[in-house]
Amino acid sequence: MGRVIGHELTPTFDDQGTQYDKEGNVKDWWTKDDYTQFKSRIQQVINQYDQFTALDNLPINGAMTVGENTADIAGIAVAYDAFKTTKEGQSTTKIDGLTPDQRFFHSVAKIWKVKMKDEFLRLWIKTNPHSPPSWRVNGPLMNSIPFYNAFDVQDGDQMFLPEKDRITIW
């Protein structure tokens, strides 16, 4: 649930929300440097998701999905930070062989466990502003340093991204 809450809090600072001030007026309220850095990160999200394929090498449209992808990346970071403030997040107790951090990331993945027909997935990729469910998990986690630490993800592993290619929104 923390991931969903974190995701929903971030649109204020996505590619569209940044155009509005605290009163909801269309207004340029960012410093020039902050906005330039933010736009650079947004472009990184677009470029990264353009490289992801979901079906028969059909790529995700990074520009169409950038707002939701940004919220997914930032939402997991917010949820993980909140999790680490809890007793469970600070524990080292394994349950079913999994550490608390590993269980956190398993819970992130479980909410997107779906099965759909290829025809529907093809339509989704072409029309939906959300990335397909598997990429709402894999994309953000590939950018999450705590995920790498929790599962000892190394160069050569399927979900490994070089550090220089990982995106931090904030």
Catalytic residues: 8, 72
- Residue 98's beta-bridge partner residues? 95
d(CA 107, CA 37): 31
Q: Is 58 exposed, middle or buried (0-12, 13-18, 19+ CB in 10 A)?
A: middle
Residue 95: phi and psi, rounded to 5, are -130, 130
d(CA 60, CA 130): 9
Q: In residues, how long is the chain?
A: 170
Residue 6: partners with Cβ closer than 8 Å, 6 or more residues away: 74, 75, 76, 77, 78, 79, 82
